[in-house]
Each structure stands twice: as C-alpha cells, then as structure tokens.
C-alpha cells in the first residue's frame, strides 16, 4: 500500500508542480506573443539586455531563496516566490500572523499559519490589482494625486515602524546589536539605499544569528 | 495582426496566467485550512488571522496598483498587470524594461509605440532575469526546511532563537534603510536637509501607534486591537507622511 504523505511532504510535492507549471506559463507568454504577432525576438539585443540584467538578479534570487525560505515556511515559500513582494508584504504579513497566534515558525502550526497569511495576502493583492486594472481610467487621477504621493512613498517606514516595535521589543537582547550596526551602515555608507536594502537583509540576518548564538552560548537568552 | 501594447489578446494571455496564480493561492489556502482543522487549531483564531492578513494587504496592494499605472504609460496595461501580479516589483521591471530597450538602441519613455519585437524582447528579459526563485524553491526548499526541522530536534530552544534572529535580522536591515538619507542633514545637495528625517518620523509615528495599541490591549483588555494593530499602524504612518513631508520634505 502506498504510504500516506505527511502534510509537509505533500506541500513540497504540490508546490513543485505549481511552481514549475507557472514558470512554463510565464515563459510561454512572450513566446505566444511572438508567435501570434509574427515577431521573432531580436536575439542580439536580447543577449545584451539579458547580460545587463540577469546576472545581478540571479545572484539576488539565489540569496533571497536561501534567506527567505527558512522564514516563510514550506507553503509560504512556494507561494511567495511566485507572487513576489516578499520583504515588503508577504513576510511581514506572515511574521505578524505568527506573533498574533503565538506560535513558533518551526512548528507545524506555524507552517499552517504562515501559509494561510501568505495565501490570503496573495489573493487580496491579486484581486485588488484586478480591480485596479478594470477601473484604471477613473482611478489614475485619484491614485496619482500629488497629495497622496508622500503616503505611498513612505510605505516601508510605516510598515517597519509598527512591525519593528512589536518584534524588537519582544527580542530586544538579540536586536540591539543588529539594529545599531544597520543604522550606522545605512547612515554613513552612501551606497546603501532603497535599491540595496535587499542585499543587506541576508548580511543582517547572518550577523544577527551570530550575535544570538554568542548570547545563547553565554546563557544570556 | 496589428500589434499594440493594449491588444485584447495580451489581456487574455495575462488574465489566464494570473488566474492560474490565483488558483495556486486558493489551493494552498484550502490545504492549510484543512490541515489546521486536522491539527485541532482554534478556528476563531484562524478567522482572525485571515481578516488581519487581508486588511494589512490593502495599502501595499494599492501601491502595487500605482506601480501598474506608472509602468502602463510605456508598456501598456497587460504586461505590468502580469509582471506585478507574478513575482515583479516596480523598480525591477523598470530596470529590466529599460535594459531590454536600450540594448536595441532605443530609450524607454521616448518610444511613442512599441513594436511587437521590442515588446517580446522586453518581456523575455523581464521573465528570464527574475526566474530564479520560482524554480530554486522546488530544488532546494525541501533541504532548507529539513535543515530547520533537524535543528529543532537537536535543540528546540536554539531553533526558536535562530528563527527569531532571522526575522530580527531582516527587520533591522529595513530599520537601517529608514535612515539611509539621514546624512542629508550635513551633506548639502539638491534637497531639503531635513528631507532625510521624513522616513524616520513616519517610522516613529507608526511605532508609537503600535505601542499605543499594545497599551490599550494591556490596560483595557481590548483584544480586538491585537488583530488590527499592524494594519492600523501602517495606515496611520502613511497618512502621517503627508503632513510630515510637507513640513520637512
């Protein structure tokens, strides 16, 4: 008799099928457009365009995968890497849900909670974008109103202010060193800005793990 | 067939893809909900989790709609709609598109209407350059997760601390980012010296709102506050950005 798959195993199996299918479909989009409109890609320009873009984002993609998968859980990872907006939406949403429920991300309950939060967030995002696309004509002047611009420009600080208080205050012993280090780096290194914060996430995560390990070994935690 | 960036066929193709991704989200949601019942988890708590996640997502999702509008001016609606529903982000798509177009000796934003070939090139560069996460998670996700599980079996306390350290590390990087223009105070340039304080003040407002929510929860036992604290602090922080930017920006 076939052995019944554990929940996690079945998440991995269906996640693999979904993600690879979405990947094939994503690649099919430009190829279908090319076929329907009878326009072959300009291969030379494609190579140049790819060389200018891909290597950096491939490296970032590998680092992001290694950094975010342990935080997102299994189901959350498969979904987040398809739907995107991980550090500015899916991950904060999952962290908040884990906090709210008081469950550890390592437990199966944690896995279930973060998957639910990320799935709901993905669905709501997709639906809101659909509504936005349908109503793009009446919405454009409202959403592009100059008065609203600063609000959306400052979304990340508004997000991480709230999340930071909730999380840092509960883990302040681990948090002091990385917060101080990141403040100093971002204030005094001009190259660190909105475009490079993604690269600093794994750096900061590794540093924090090192600090936490030290404190743990000394019995401070 | 004559090509233009808002051709109905492009809407149809993008729509099909987005429907598949939506189906994947629903699939995982149903799967996790089922498992939560098998594990005997408190279903009222699960309902609250869903409500909070949905509410929290609204403001960031609206900002994604704004990105769609921004990109649609040069790329039409279907492509940004697809790219920002699946994987992408405004900055990435803009960079990928401009790299693809400049490789063809043109400049994005200065082209009155894209040809089908330019469109195909842009789409291929966007798609291929950011493909990594989608296939890498199936390849190494299981191993990474197993590593976390065995860590938990060896030393459960350290595994919890490790997990929190990861979250703290990520949050610290973004708290640092909030201060990235702080040096405008002493480095003169084409900006108001105090403009670097805008994100810092916005963060402070949001943090204060969060603290206030925590107080209300403790003092008055308003448990519902717990469910809405993060969405509330996000939206109030963003709202505060309007007067703060007018004042300091």
Nearest CA in chain B to A191: B180
* A1: pLDDT strictly greater than 80: no
CA distance A103 to chain B (A): 10
Q: What is the number of structural domains in chain A?
A: 1
Contact A20 B138 (CB under 8 A): yes
Residue bearing tokens 């996430």? A201
Of B115, B162, B236, nearest to A212 by CB-CB distance is B162
pLDDT tens digit sequence for A147-156 = 999 999 999 9
Interface-testing mutation among B106, B174, B189, B213, with chain A (most A C-beta atoms within 10 A): B174
Nearest CA in chain B to A155: B238
Task: To the nearest 10°, report the CA torsion of B117, B119, B122, B126.
Answer: -130
pLDDT of residue A189: 94
pLDDT of residue A2: 52
pLDDT of residue B107: 83
Contact B60 A159 (CB under 8 A): yes
- Whole domain around residue A191: which residue ranges? 171-221
Q: Would residue A195 count as lying in a domain?
A: yes
* B122: pLDDT strictly greater than 70: yes
Q: Would residue A38 count as lying in a domain?
A: no
ipTM rounded to 2 decimals: 0.91
Contact B31 A26 (CB under 8 A): no
pLDDT tens digit sequence for A20-62 = 999 999 999 999 999 999 999 999 999 999 999 999 889 889 9
Q: Would residue A107 count as lying in a domain?
A: no
Residues of chain A positioned with their CB less than 8 A from the CB of B170: 67, 71, 87, 91, 201, 204-205
Interface-testing mutation among A53, A72, A89, A216, with chain B (most B C-beta atoms within 10 A): A53
Report which of B47, B36, B40, B86 is spatially closest to residue B64, judged by C-alpha positions.
B86
Residues of chain B positioned with their CB less than 8 A from the CB of A7: 35, 38
Q: Would residue A45 count as lying in a domain?
A: no
Interface-testing mutation among A15, A150, A215, with chain B (most B C-beta atoms within 10 A): A150
* A78: pLDDT strictly greater than 80: yes
Contact B121 A159 (CB under 8 A): no
CA distance B13 to chain A (A): 7
pLDDT tens digit sequence for B67-97 = 999 899 889 999 999 999 998 788 788 888 8
* A91: pLDDT strictly greater than 90: yes
């Amino acid at each position: 008799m076939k052995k019944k798959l554990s929940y996690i195993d079945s998440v991995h199996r269906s996640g693999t099928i979904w993600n690879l299918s979405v990947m094939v479909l994503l690649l099919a989009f430009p190829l279908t457009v090319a076929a329907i409109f009878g326009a072959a890609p300009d291969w030379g320009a494609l190579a140049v365009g790819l060389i200018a873009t891909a290597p950096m984002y491939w490296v970032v993609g590998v680092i992001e995968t290694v950094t975010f998968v342990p935080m997102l859980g299994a189901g959350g990872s498969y979904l987040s890497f398809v739907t995107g907006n991980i550090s500015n939406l899916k991950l904060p949403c999952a962290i908040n849900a884990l906090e709210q429920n008081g469950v550890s991300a390592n437990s199966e309950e944690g896995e279930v909670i973060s998957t639910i939060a990320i799935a709901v967030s993905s669905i709501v995002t997709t639906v809101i974008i659909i509504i936005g696309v349908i109503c793009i004509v009446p919405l454009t002047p409202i959403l592009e109103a100059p008065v609203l611009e600063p609000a959306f420009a400052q979304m990340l600080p508004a997000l991480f202010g709230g999340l930071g208080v909730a999380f840092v205050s509960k883990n302040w012993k681990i948090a002091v060193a990385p917060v101080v280090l990141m403040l100093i780096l971002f204030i005094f290194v001009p190259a660190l800005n909105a475009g490079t914060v993604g690269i600093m996430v794994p750096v900061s995560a590794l540093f924090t793990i090192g600090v936490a390990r030290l404190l743990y070994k000394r019995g401070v935690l | 067939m004559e090509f233009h960036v808002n051709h109905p066929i492009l809407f149809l193709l993008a729509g099909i893809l987005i429907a598949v991704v939506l189906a994947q989200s629903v699939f995982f949601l149903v799967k996790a909900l089922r498992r939560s019942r098998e594990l005997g988890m408190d279903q009222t708590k699960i309902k609250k989790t869903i409500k909070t996640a949905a509410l929290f997502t609204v403001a960031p999702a609206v900002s994604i709609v704004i990105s769609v509008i921004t990109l649609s001016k040069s790329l039409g609606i279907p492509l940004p709609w697809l790219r920002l529903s699946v994987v992408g982000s405004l900055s990435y798509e803009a960079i990928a598109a401009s790299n693809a177009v400049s490789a063809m000796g043109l400049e994005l934003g200065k082209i009155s209407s894209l040809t089908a070939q330019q469109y195909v090139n842009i789409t291929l560069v966007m798609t291929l350059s950011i493909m990594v996460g989608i296939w890498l998670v199936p390849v190494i996700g299981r191993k990474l997760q197993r590593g976390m599980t065995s860590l938990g079996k060896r030393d459960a306390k350290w595994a919890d601390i490790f997990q929190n350290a990861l979250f703290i590390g990520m949050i610290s990087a973004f708290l640092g980012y909030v201060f990235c223009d702080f040096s405008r105070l002493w480095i003169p340039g084409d900006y108001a010296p105090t403009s670097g304080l805008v994100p810092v003040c916005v963060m402070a407002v949001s943090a204060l709102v969060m603290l206030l929510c925590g107080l209300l929860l403790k003092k008055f036992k308003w448990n519902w506050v717990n469910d809405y604290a993060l969405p509330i602090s996000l939206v109030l922080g963003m709202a505060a950005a309007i007067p703060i930017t007018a004042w300091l920006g």
